[in-house]
Amino acid sequence: MSEETKFVLGEDAIPTHWINLLPDLPGEPLPPLSPATGQPAGPEDLTPIFPMALIGQEVSMEPEVAIPDPVRDAYRLWRPTPLYRARRLEQALGTPAKLFYKYEGVSPAGSHKPNSAVPQAYENAQAGVRKLVTETGAGQWGSSLGFACSLFGLECEVFMVGSSYDQKPYRRSMMRTWGATVHRSPSDLTESGRAQAGNATGSLGIAISEAVEVAAQNEDTNYALGSVLNHVLLHQTVIGQEAIAQLELAQAFPDVIVGCVGGGSNFAGLVFPFIRGTLRGENRIRYLAAEPAACPTLTRGHYAYDFGDTVGLTPLMPMHTLGHDFVPPPLHAGGLRYHGAAPMISGLVKAGVVEARAYRQNETFEAAVRFARTEGIIPAPESAHAIRGAIEEALAAKEAGEERTILFGLSGHGNFDLAAYDAYLGGTLEDPEFSEADLETALAALPQGTPALS
């Protein structure tokens, strides 16, 4: 085992392909359903809002998809990202476990999201689209898409979830610096927004409805989603491929991999290149998805067909969901405030390949501060869920007296989330719960008459 702390690769090690897990998943892929007919959705349901190249990636059954050269060139701005050995955290925990983390906060926007924003902007520009419109929770996706649009000469319009718009003024400034226009959601610019005016804090589901509505109504405008869909998860697999090469440099191989899950894209990006080996019987890694207890999609949601947005404009997707009109409490981990999880991740949880755990807001920040005081980096509140899970695993290894290797995803930095850290340090951070009654209310909105999934 080498003594190094940071494992870095040269630009020539940026992957040439994305890894598509679809052909390796257990069972037949379940089709999305058209919101109009309830029948399996075809490309024609998606062409009003997505370019053909991305629709092709969404349904591709090729195990690998080539990364276009201009996208790889843009990736050079921050990739390969570093893999760290968390030696100081290991020491503080007194664990025999080896802890590694893959850090995506070195991208211009400060998270993993540009990994997909860049190819999405590129393919839309290639297709002659003039403007991309999207939603953003904490502002991470909006800023990533704003950045990516600036690289390829596209306009960018962002509907930002109300509670984040109020809490995170500097994320707004970033988007505007890259040239994007930002609206507070729910807005009065769309029918979907006007219909949800009563939900003042907003939600990702509502903001998605607004963005999809604008894209569907304008010929030269497309929509871009920052998570959940197969092609977004595909783009993120550069993370895990680099991690495999970096762990080889460290002469290590993971026993368990931990990531946080909002829609599931950073988790998928880290684990899919490893899970392919697991599904093929080549390794026996455990996978742990960490989510907020106040928005417990994977641990308490139903596995059912549901809409991706609040109003019901998107295709119905097979996923773990709390019901499309569930409005989660205004958590600081805004990127995890989503009612559903990616169909591919949901299927893996259903199949027992991925285990899910939920953490409360305060215990998550406790882990974040512990991490900041040992490893230095101030983590995004979303990423802190993965840290919490990794610390639990490290303590379990200590309890068992086993030298396990734990890899976790540090999806972004928290340098724009300092108001949340102030609240935690001042003892005023809320710790919202999710009761049985909340669950019942949330699930009551599940669409009726869709095929049962069991």
Ligand X SMILES: *Cc1c(COP(=O)(O)O)cnc(C)c1O
Q: Which residues of this protein are in contact with ligand X, per CB under 6 A?
A: 111, 113, 140-141, 227, 260-267, 335-336, 380, 382-383, 411-412
Phi/psi at 299 (5° precision): -85, -30
State the number of CA atoms in the 13 A half-sphere of 270 facing the CB: 34
Written as six digits, the tokens of 209 are 């409805």
Which residue number, 90 or 382, has a Cβ lying nearer to ligand X? 382
* Amino acid occupying residue 63: P
Q: Omega into 186 within 30° of 0, i.e. cis?
A: yes
Cα separation, 162 vs 246, in Å, equals: 39
Structure tokens at 186: 């729910």
User: How many angstroms separate the CA atoms of 277 and 242, rounded?
Assistant: 15
Those residues whose C-beta lies under 8 Å from the C-beta of residue 424, and which sit 6 or more positions away, are 362, 365, 366, 368, 369
CB 55 within 8 A of CB 47: yes
Min dist. Cβ of residue 156 to ligand X (A): 17
210 or 291: whose CB is closer to ligand X? 291
Cβ 239 to ligand X, closest distance in Å? 10
Cβ nearer to ligand X, comparing 397 with 420: 420
- Scan for tokens 């903001």, then name that residue: 207
Q: How far apart are CA 255 and CA 408, in angstroms?
A: 11
- Choice between 33 and 145, CB closer to ligand X: 145
Q: How far is the CB of 298 from ligand X (least distance, A)?
A: 11
Please give the Cα distance from 179 to 173 (Å, whole number).
Answer: 10
Minimum distance, C-beta of residue 237 to ligand X, in the bound complex (Å):
13
The owner of tokens 């139903």 is 302
**Closest distance between ligand X and the C-beta of residue 245, in Å?**
21
Nearer to ligand X (CB atom), residue 273 or residue 412: 412
Nearest CB to ligand X, comparing residues 72 and 168: 168
Q: Is 38 exposed, middle or buried (0-12, 13-18, 19+ CB in 10 A)?
A: middle
Residue whose CB is less far from ligand X, 81 or 265 = 265
Minimum CB–partner distance for residue 137 and ligand X (Å)? 7
| Least Å from the CB of residue 375 to ligand X | 16
